[in-house]
Amino acid sequence: MPDQDRRSKIAFLGFGEAAGAIVAGWRQVGLSVDISAFDIKTNDQNLAPETAARCAALDVVSASSLRDALKYAEAVFCLVTADQALVAATSAAPHLAKGAFYFDCNSCSPGTKRSAAVQMAIANATYVDVAIMSPIHPGLHRSPLLLSGECAKMGAAYLTELNMNPDIIEGDIGSAASVKMIRSVMVKGMEALTAECMLAAEKANVSGQIIQSLDRSYPEFGWMRRSTYNFGRMMEHGVRRAAEMLEAAKTIEQLGLDNAMSKSIIKWQQTIGDLELDPGPEDFHHRAELILDKLEEKTNGPK
Residues 162 and 189 reside in one and the same domain = no
Helical segments of the chain, H only: 17-28, 48-57, 66-70, 85-92, 110-122, 152-161, 175-203, 207-217, 223-254, 260-273, 284-300
Indicate the DSSP class of residue 219: T
CATH of the domain at 162: 3.40.50.720
Q: Is 209 helix (H, G, I), strand (E, B) or coil?
A: helix
Residues 58 and 186 reside in one and the same domain = no
Q: Mean pLDDT throughout 8-19?
A: 92
**What is the domain count for the chain?**
2
Lowest-confidence segment of 41-45, 69-73, 291-295 by average pLDDT: 41-45
Residues 188 and 288 reside in one and the same domain = yes
Inter-helix orientation angle 223-254/284-300, to 10°: 60
Q: Has residue 26 been placed in a domain?
A: yes
With cut-offs at 50, 70 and 90, classify the pLDDT of residue 226: very high
Residues 84 and 189 reside in one and the same domain = no
CA distance 152 to 204: 51
Q: Has residue 280 been placed in a domain?
A: yes
Q: Mean pLDDT throughout 3-15?
A: 74
Integer angstrom CA distances of residue 88 from 39, 53, 77, 79, 113: 10, 22, 11, 9, 12
Residues 194 and 162 reside in one and the same domain = no
CATH of the domain at 239: 1.10.1040.10
Q: Has residue 242 been placed in a domain?
A: yes
pLDDT of residue 43: 73
Residues 109 and 251 reside in one and the same domain = no
Domain limit, last residue, from 113, 141, 173: 173
Residues 17 and 108 reside in one and the same domain = yes
pLDDT of residue 303: 67
Q: Has residue 166 been placed in a domain?
A: yes
Residues 105 and 192 reside in one and the same domain = no
The pTM for the full model equals 0.88
Tens-place pLDDT, residues 249-279: 999 999 999 999 999 999 999 999 999 999 9
Residues 87 and 165 reside in one and the same domain = yes
Q: Has residue 217 been placed in a domain?
A: yes
Domain limit, last residue, from 173, 194, 225: 173
Q: Has residue 244 been placed in a domain?
A: yes
Domain membership of residue 263 as a residue range:
182-297
Residues 18 and 156 reside in one and the same domain = yes
Residues 278 and 166 reside in one and the same domain = no
Q: Has residue 2 been placed in a domain?
A: no
Mean pLDDT score across all residues of the chain: 94
Q: Has residue 258 been placed in a domain?
A: yes
Q: Mean pLDDT throughout 81-85?
A: 92
pLDDT at 1 over 70: no
pLDDT > 90: percent of the chain = 89
pLDDT of residue 7: 53
Of residues 127, 87, 252, the one with CA closest to residue 178:
252
Tens-place pLDDT, residues 115-154: 999 999 999 999 999 999 999 999 999 999 999 999 999 9
Residues 166 and 191 reside in one and the same domain = no
